[in-house]
Structure 1
Amino acid sequence: MNNLDFRTHAFDSAAQLADVALQGRLDGQGWKWVTPRPVVAACRLSLKASPDELAAQVTEALPGEGLELLWGTTEPWWRARTLHDGYLGWVQAGDVVEERQWRPDLTVQALRAHVFAGPKVSSPVLAELCLGAQLQRLDAEAVEDDHRRWLPVLLPDGQEGWVQEVCFDQPNESVTALALRFLDAPYVWGGRSAWGLDCSGLTQTVYGAFGKVLPRDADQQQEATQVVDEPRAGDLAFFPGHVGLMLDGKRMIHANATGMRVTIETLGEGAYGGRLAASLSGFGRVQ
Structure 2
Amino acid sequence: MRKTVFLLGLVFSTLSVMSQNSEISSVIKRVKEKYVPDSRVEIWDIVATQREDTVILKGETTNRDAYDELIVQAGSLYGQLKDSIRLLPASELGDATWGVIYNSVGTLRAQPRYGSELVSQGLLGMPVRILEKRDGWRRIQTPDQYIGWINGSVKVMTKPELEEYLQKPKVIITAFSSQSVSKPKHDAFPVSDLVAGNMLTIKGTQGKFYQVEYPDGREGYVRKSDALETGKWLKGVELTGESIVNTAYRLTGIPYLWGGTSPKGMDCSGFTKTVYFMHGIILARDASQQVHSGKLIDDQGDFSGALPGDLLFFGTKANDGKSKERVIHVGIYIGHNRFIHASDYIHIGSLDPDDPLYDEFNANRYLRTKRIIGEVGTPGIERIFDNEFYKQ
- Pairwise same-fold verdict (TM > 0.5): yes
Matched, 1:273 2:359: yes
Q: Which amino acid aligns with 2:260?
A: G
Asked whether the 8 Å contact 2:42–2:63 carries over to 1, the reply is no
CA distance in 1, matches of 2:174, 2:367: 33
Residue 16 of structure 1 aligns to a residue whose secondary structure is: strand
Per mean C-alpha deviation after superposition, the further-off stretch among 25-34 and 55-64 is: 25-34
Larger gyration radius, structure 1 or structure 2: 2
CA distance in 2, matches of 1:271, 1:25: 53
Matched, 1:153 2:186: no
Q: Deviations over 1:177-220 (max 9, x none)?
A: 11111111121111111111111011111112222221000011
Q: CA deviation at 1:25?
A: 5.3
Residue 224 of structure 1 aligns to a residue whose secondary structure is: coil
How many residues align? The count is: 275
Matched, 1:223 2:274: no
Residue 283 of structure 2 aligns to a residue whose secondary structure is: coil
Residue 17 of structure 1 aligns to a residue whose secondary structure is: strand
Matched, 1:116 2:181: yes
Q: Which amino acid aligns with 1:2?
A: E
Residue in structure 2 matched with residue 166 of structure 1 by the alignment: 225
Which of these residues, 89, 105, 117, is aligned with residue 35 of structure 1? 89
Residue in structure 2 matched with residue 2 of structure 1 by the alignment: 33
Residue in structure 1 matched with residue 165 of structure 2 by the alignment: 102
Q: Deviations over 1:134-187 (max 9, x none)?
A: 10001x4x222xxxx011000122100000011114576611111111111121
Residue in structure 2 matched with residue 283 of structure 1 by the alignment: 369
RMSD: 2.0
CA distance in 2, matches of 1:2, 1:262: 36
Residue 31 of structure 1 aligns to a residue whose secondary structure is: strand
CA distance in 2, matches of 1:152, 1:62: 19
Residue in structure 1 matched with residue 18 of structure 2 by the alignment: none
Given the two structures, how large is their TM-score scaled by the length of structure 2?
0.66
- Over 3 Å counting, the alpha-carbon distance change for 1:109 and 1:31 in structure 2 is same
Q: Which amino acid aligns with 1:30?
A: S
Residue in structure 2 matched with residue 11 of structure 1 by the alignment: 44
Paired residues for 1:172-187 under 5 Å: 174-187=243-256
Residue in structure 1 matched with residue 389 of structure 2 by the alignment: none
CA distance in 1, matches of 2:371, 2:335: 13
Residue in structure 1 matched with residue 206 of structure 2 by the alignment: 143
CA distance in 2, matches of 1:157, 1:2: 39
CA distance in 1, matches of 2:153, 2:275: 25
Q: CA deviation at 1:102?
A: 2.1
Per mean C-alpha deviation after superposition, the further-off stretch among 172-181 and 9-18 is: 9-18
Q: CA deviation at 1:47?
A: 0.4
Q: CA deviation at 1:271?
A: 8.2
Q: Deviations over 1:67-97 (max 9, x none)?
A: 1111123x111221102x00000111x2210
Residue in structure 1 matched with residue 24 of structure 2 by the alignment: none
What is the percentage of aligned positions where both structures have the same residue?
29
Given the two structures, how large is their TM-score scaled by the length of structure 1?
0.89
CA distance in 2, matches of 1:107, 1:264: 28
Q: Which runs of 5+ in 2 are unaligned?
A: 1-31, 48-57, 75-82, 91-96, 299-304, 316-327, 376-392
CA distance in 2, matches of 1:133, 1:211: 13
Which of these residues, 58, 81, 87, is aligned with residue 146 of structure 2? 87
Q: CA deviation at 1:253?
A: 0.6
